[in-house]
Amino acid sequence: MMHVTLTHYLVISAILFSLGLLALVTRRNAIMMLMGIELILNAANVNFLAFSRYSALDIHGHVVAVFVILLAAAEAAVALAIVLNIYRTFSTVNVDQINQLKE
């Protein structure tokens, strides 16, 4: 418990990243894996903004974070469309039961 520095933000970001990674590798549900990816992207954004605030004192980290959020939105839309198609074809979204690319 002391004054908040850059390291505090980096530690939070590392914990968020690890939790996202854990969700990504252990969960079988495709939507749950997407949530893990979102956690990882958020961790990366916290890192960008923390370095932008404490180490560079400029705006470039913010711009990169804007692009990360944009790509996360595009990724979520396309991935959920894929998940819907998988559900229509296999009647499940558990990734360990999906083993062919065509019907």
Q: Is the dihedral of CA 35, 41, 42, 43 positive or negative?
A: positive
59 vs 100, which CB is nearer to another protein? 59
CB of 101: closest distance to another protein in angstroms? 14
11 vs 101, which CB is nearer to another protein? 11
Closest alpha carbon to 11 in 43, 59, 34: 43
29 vs 100, which CB is nearer to another protein? 29
CB of 95: closest distance to another protein in angstroms? 10
For residue 37, give both structure tokens: 């990816």
> How many Å apart are CA 48 and CA 44, to the nearest integer?
6
CB of 82: closest distance to another protein in angstroms? 6
Distances in whole angstroms, Cα of residue 1 to Cα of each of 4, 5, 8, 42: 8, 11, 10, 24
